[in-house]
Amino acid sequence: MKATTKTTLVILSMLLSMTLLGQNQIDALRYSRVLFGGSARYMSMGGAFSTLGADFSTLSTNPAGIGVYKKSEMTFSPSVGYTKTGADYLGTYRDDFKYNFNFANFGMVFAGDVGSSDSEKPEWKGIQFGFGYNRLQNFNGRTFIEGQNDLSTILDVYSAYAQGISPNQLNPFDTELAFGTYLLDTVGGSTNYLQAHYGGAKQTKSITSSGGINEMVMSFGGNFNDRFYIGATLGFPFIRYEEIATYKEVDELDSLANFKSLTISDDLRTWGNGFNFKLGMIYRITDWVRISGAFHTPTFYSLTDEYTRTMSSQLESVGNYSDKSPVGRYEYNLMTPMRVMGGVAFIIANIGSISAEYELVDYSEARLREKNISGSFIQQNEDIRGAYTAAGNLRVGTEWVVQPFSIRAGYALYGNPYKGGLNDGGQQFISGGFGVRQQNYFIDFGYVYSVRAEDYYLYSSVPEPAKTEETRHQFICTLGFKF
C-alpha cells in the first residue's frame, strides 16, 4: 500500500473509531449513500424500474415514471428486515444480528386524462400528481468484534494525543476521561503521560445502530402522445440515526500489572431533514423499447448531532473509576453529491419486461458546512476529497406475467465509494418476488438479499482491521388500490 493511502486510512480509522462522535467524512458518506427502496414490485426487480414507470417508488429515482400512470393509485408497503454481521478480528470470529420493522413506502398518485379522443394530432394525454414517501436507507444493524491483542491498546492513541498538553486542557470527550479514570497519568506533574498498560488485553466492541433515511416526495408528471413522459419531484428526505457502541479491554490472562479492564461507551444520535429536486424523462422509441434519463440535485441537509461518552476503569493499584463527558450537541449542514442516471427497458408484448439502469454519483463532492460560519470544516472536506471517489450503481430486473400473476427477479451492484482501493464498500443485491393484480387492486411480495464486506479499524494503531461482512434480508409486502 502506498504511503499516501496508509495516511488516509489512518485518518479514516481514527475518525471512525474514537476522536469524533460526529461531523466527519464518515457521516458524509453514511448520509450520501442511498439505496433503492419502496414497493415490493420495485424492490423485487432490483430497483431497475426508472424506464418502466407506473410505480410509486420511481418518484424518488426517475420522476418521469409518474407520467406512465393511467389510473389513480394508492400503495402501502410494510417491511421486515433481518441483518447479520460477522467480524473476524485477530483470528477470532464473532457475529450478531438484529431484526427491524419499518414501512418501505406509502403514497398516492392522481392521474387525469386531458387528451381529446377525437384528435389525431400529438398532444398531452395525461397529467399526474403524487405524494408520499419512500425509504431509501436502513441503518439497523448489530456488530460484535472480539480478539486478543498483544501488540497495542487504544491507550496508545490517547497517550499520543495527550503528550505535551496540561491535564486541565485535555479533550473532555477522550483524553480528559482517560486521565480522570487513571488510564493515563502524568509523570511527576509534567505533561508527559504514562498508560495503564501497553498491550496484551482482550478487546471487544459492540455496535448497535438504528434508523434510516425516508424521503417525502411531491411529484408532477405528464404524458405527451403516449410517447414522451416527463416528471419532476420535490424531495424532502429526513434522517434519523442512532448508534450505541461499547469498547472494552480486559486482562483475561492476568498478565498485565495493575490493569484489569477499561470500558468506553458512546451514544450518538443524529437527526435532521433536507430537500432536493429531481427531473426525469422516459421516451418510448417503439412499442417494445424505452429509454430514460434523470438528474438529481444535491440534497441539502440541516442536521443535529447529540453525543456522550462514558469511560470507566478497573485498576488494581488505585481501584475503580468512572467519568462522563458533557452532552455534546452540534448543528451543521451537509450537502450530498448530485446524481445522474440512464436506463433502457424492453417490453415483450403483454407478457414480460427486461430493464436496466446505471447511476453515477461522485462521493468526493459531499461537503460539510458550519451553520452561519464560512471557512469551517476545511480539514473534514479535504478528507472527503482524499478518501472518496465516483462510483457507479447498476440495477437490472425482469418481470413475467401470466394474468393475473406476475413473477419478478433483480440484481443490483453498488460501486465502491473509496478511492484507490482504500477499503471495501461495494454492495450486491439479489431480489425476487411475485404478485397478483386485478383491475382495482393488487398485492405484491418481495425479497431482497444484500451483502457488503468492509474493513473496520477499532483505532489507528491497531495491528490489523476487523474484516466485517454484513448480510441483510428484507421482506416487503405492498397493498395497492386503483381508482
DSSP string covering 254-266: S-SSSEEEEEEEE
At position 423, the amino acid (one-letter code) is N
Report angle CA 287, 290, 292 to the nearest 5 degrees: 155
Q: What is the DSSP letter of 120?
A: -
Distance CA 361, CA 383 (A): 18
pLDDT tens-digit map of 422-432:
787 899 999 99
- Write down the H helix ranges in 81-215: 155-162, 175-180
Handedness of CA 461, 462, 464, 467 (dihedral sign): negative
Parse the chain into domains and list their residue ranges. Answer: 3-153+197-482
CA distance 401 to 241: 40
pLDDT over 70 (residue 401): yes
- Lowest mean per-residue pLDDT among 13-22, 172-181, 465-474: 13-22
- pLDDT band at residue 8, thresholds of 50, 70 and 90? very low
pLDDT above 70 (res 67): yes
The rounded distance, in Å, linking the Cα atoms of 411 and 391 is 17
Q: What is the rounded end-to-end Cα distance, in angstroms, of the chain?
A: 60
Q: What percent of the chain has pLDDT over 70?
A: 93
pLDDT at 120: 62
Whether 409 and 45 have beta carbons less than 8 Å apart is answered as yes
- What is the rounded average pLDDT of the residues 247-275? 96
Beta strands in 150-258 (DSSP E): 184-186, 193-195, 201-224, 228-250
Mean pLDDT of 274-297: 97
Confidence category of residue 244, pLDDT binned at 50, 70, 90: very high
3-153+197-482, superfamily in CATH? Outer membrane protein transport protein (OMPP1/FadL/TodX) (2.40.160.60)
Q: How many CB atoms lie within 10 A of CB 110?
A: 16
Phi, psi values for residue 467, rounded to 5° = -90, 110
Confidence of residue 187 (pLDDT cuts 50, 70, 90): confident
- DSSP of 425-442: --EEEEEEEEEEE-SSEE
Predicted confidence band of residue 6 (pLDDT cuts 50, 70, 90): very low
Has residue 453 got a pLDDT over 80?
A: yes
- Strand partners for 339: 296, 361
Q: What is the pTM of this model?
A: 0.89
**188: Cβ contacts below 8 Å, ≥ 6 apart:** none
Please check the confidence at residue 27 and state whether its pLDDT lies above 70: yes
Return phi, psi of residue 161, to 5°: -70, -35
> Is it the case that residue 388 has pLDDT exceeding 90?
yes
Instruction: Supply the DSSP symbol for 60.
Output: G
Strand partners, 477: 445
CB neighbours (10 Å) of residue 238? Answer: 15
300-315 vs 201-224, strand pairing mode: unpaired
Mean pLDDT of 198-217: 97
pLDDT higher than 80, residue 9: no
- Examine the pLDDT at 337 and tell me if it is beyond 80: yes
